[in-house]
Amino acid sequence: MVLDYGSKIGVIACSNGRQASRMAEYKALYKKLEDEYGIGVVEAKTIYASENSIFSGTPKERAHELHNLYGNQDIQAIFDISGGDVANQILPFLDFEWIRKHKKPFIGYSDLTTILNSIYTLSDMPGVLFHLGSDSLAEFERYFIKGEKVALKGDFMSFDNSLRGLLIGGNIRCFLKLAGTPYMPNFHHKILLLEAQSGDVSKMATFIAQYEQLGAFSRCKGLILGQFTEAEEKGIRPQIDTLFKEIGEKYQLPIFKTNQIGHAPHSIAVPIGQEISIKN
């Protein structure tokens, strides 16, 4: 999608509330969006955490504020600037038919993996895995202002050197919160994207085991592996890659590895619930 000059975006925190001490930082971000791109910002009431709390509101209140952003006809897209652990609290309170009716993309990353994939599953609405911040404005401009297509750079770790299909997934830990719920997408013929901010080899091994037990690897068309930040900082990423290579060999899955997707400031925006094509 492309945001034209004069467009408005909604901003919300459906996961952990933002600290009030960061208010000036966000106001400066909004001013940059207005000054450089002509983008106006409509803030939800559930942005900042209440005193002595991690929550910007109750699950029902956060869902209500998200509904309001969808219903606001002046808003073209919704950016969630939060992250953390509690986004899935709002899922039972979301009206997915309302979201389907008011077609506009939801954008977020990390813990917002739960909402992105739920909206795709139950509203058939694609979203974007991306974190809006002062350090990601170059990518914001590339994807949302110029409308440039995603061109992933990386290498195939096994089997085919091309991959084409509908993309689901996101954060490896947060996506698993949807297991056993009606919000989890069908893995059949999908490309599964996985990235992680934290987690050592043992955590990744148990996550991989759960995905396998869910039937993800036997049903999907292939994997895209993004950044595994903590593992890379500790020099243990090769051990995690070995675990995935074993999965690739077992299920004859193409696996594409890229450092463009994840929690780093240089991470690019990628569509969830839309087709993506990769060829080396």
Please list the active-site residues: 110, 195, 263
Listed in sequence order, the DSSP H helices in the chain are: 23-37, 59-71, 96-101, 113-123, 137-140, 172-175, 201-213, 216-219, 229-234, 237-251
* CB crowding 135-153: b at 16 or more within 10 Å, else e: ebbebbeebbbeeeebebe
Cα gap 92→64, rounded to integer Å:
12
Angle between helical axes of 237-251 and 201-213 (0-180°, round to 10): 20
Cα gap 94→254, rounded to integer Å:
35
Sign of CA dihedral 205, 209, 210, 214: positive
The answer to whether residues 219 and 252 touch, using CB atoms and an 8 Å cutoff, is no
**How does strand 190-196 pair with strand 162-171?**
parallel
DSSP code per residue over 118-150: HHHHHH---EEE---SGGGHHHHIIIIIS-PPP
The answer to whether residues 271 and 162 touch, using CB atoms and an 8 Å cutoff, is no
